[in-house]
Structure 1
Amino acid sequence: MKLNPWKEFEPIVLVFENKKRLISTAHEAAAVLIKDWPGDDGDEYCVAVRTCWEVILGKMDAFELRRALLRAAEEAGIAAIAAVH
């Protein structure tokens, strides 16, 4: 099985307390979910992590990851801004 962490979706900017992160690939989404997320116990967070893995495995479309990230950001109180690519 060949993994593809570079699957792209329309970019979003997530605004954390001390930095902004531009996210447009499954790889970037995985990094922000693992390194920068303020907590790991929310339902939408868990869905976003699972969706990220499914996208990397090629089992799900990257658009679904973008949607999952937006829902997880809302759940965590993280501002999300649509970015022009």
Structure 2
Amino acid sequence: MKFDTSTEFDQVILIFKDPGRRLIVRTAQQAAKALIKDWPSDDGEEFLCAVKACLDVMTGKASSNELRNAILRAANEAGVAAVAALH
């Protein structure tokens, strides 16, 4: 199975509680990396939905906009500030 990790969406800037710790997420690959390596909690319902959305986008089962929205919901759930920039 071939995965498409480069599909882009309007960027989301994640601002973590650690001083100066920020991530810019604009692809499924960046979103997956942020969720797996940088997320403060891995047990929330929205977190799991965002992980699934990453896989769904990579396999062509969901749109990149659905992933972006899932990241925003997961950030809200985890107490991570998210700045949603639209182009």
1:47 aligns with one of 36, 46, 49: 49
Task: Specify the alignment match of 2:74 in structure 1.
Answer: 72
**2:63 maps to 1:61:** yes
Task: Give runs of aligned pairs for residues 10-29 of structure 1, distance below 5 A.
Answer: 10-18=10-18, 19-29=21-31
How many percent of aligned residue pairs carry the same amino acid? 49
Structure 1 length as normaliser, TM-score?
Answer: 0.94
Equivalent residue letter for 1:50: K
Residue correspondences, number:
85
Q: Which runs of 5+ in 2 are unaligned?
A: none
Query: Which residue identity lines up with residue 5 of structure 2 in the other structure?
Result: P
RMSD: 1.1
- With normalisation by structure 2, the TM-score equals 0.92
